[in-house]
Amino acid sequence: MLNRLGPVVIIVASALAVGCGLYAYFAPLTGVTGTWGPLAASFGALCLLIAGALLLRRGHRGLRVLLLVLMALGLVLTAFATFLLHQWVMLVALGLCALGWLIALTGPKGATA
Mean pLDDT of 17-31: 95
pLDDT tens for residues 39-68?
999 999 999 999 999 998 877 888 889 999
Mean pLDDT of 29-45: 95
What pLDDT score does 109 carry? 62
Residue in 52, 65, 60, 36 with CA at minimum distance from that of residue 93: 52
Q: What is the dihedral of CA 77, 96, 49, 89, to 10 degrees?
A: -70
Whole-number percent of the chain with pLDDT over 90: 80
| Average pLDDT of the residues of the chain | 92
